[in-house]
Amino acid sequence: MSLKQKLHDTWVGVYESVTPPRTVSAFRSKGVLTPEEFVEAGDNLVNKCPTWLWDAGEPEKRKPYLPPNKQFLITHNVPCFKRVHTMEEDPSTETEQMMGEDGEEGWLATHGAASETRQDEGEIPSMEGPSTEAPKEEAKAGPSRGAAEADDEDEVPDMDEFQDDNNLVEDDAATFQIPYLRAEEPGDENILRTRTYDLSITYDKYYQTPRVWLYGYDEAKRPLHPEQVLQDVSQDHARKTVTIEDHPHLHGKHASVHPCKHSLVMKKILDVICAKGADPRVDQYLFIFLKFIASVIPTIEYDYTVDFDLGPSKRQS
């Protein structure tokens, strides 16, 4: 942790200790949440997506402005099938789109229709292998040859012609040797090595927004080193908006998506949604939030929310 980050964390700690939490809703106007709105949005996420759960965390680390049994949200064993660099090298991956007016305050949307594109690439090969002209001719000659073979089968050979019974065994052994049925161990290059992550969402009192934390494991369930975790983070955000810090409720270092731009991005996204005639509710905040966080961790398959209902509702402030 750099000196600048330590000084910032110290200042945030002092500020939070002397400043009460937000009590006035500014969901629409600023893209922020009160603790009560965070709980409301978390309840909706847990209800619609049972992979997410509320957690009470360590007793000594609980925040008094949140319910004791609803300190943060967590989902376990989220798969991560590939590294980000392989996605960035894949020409079929959808081009990044910028949320916002410029690169400094915008947010990269790196996910999208890449999976749909892959489904249209090429045809599924036949299980019988590539076709040639020879099988066509053979198929045409099939009926006449089949009739000739039927005639030959009518002539049952005399068993006395087989003077040595051992010939039967030898012939059978030679005939039924099928080497391609032998089981072989697959090579290492054919094994899909899947990482898994525990993702948690906390409420950041200073920035008044949710904050995402990552803790990863390799295929042998060993914790990942910080450098390995950053392999699964968009390189536009690694070491910039993603840092390695102490979790506010759990022990140990976690990778964290820093919330300094969260309210700004959420405000812009909400403005776009409203401009299209929808009326997003505060309890849908985390569904929208998780959509844009996917731009930071595009290969971690945590988002099963698909779409969400943005129908009419009582307008928030």
> What distance lies between CA 89 and its chain's CA centroid?
18
Catalytic annotation on 260?
yes
Nearest to residue 93, comparing CAs of 111, 120, 119? Answer: 111
Out of 49, 80, 260, 274, which one is annotated catalytic? 260
- Max Cα separation, the chain? 107
Annotated catalytic residues are: 260
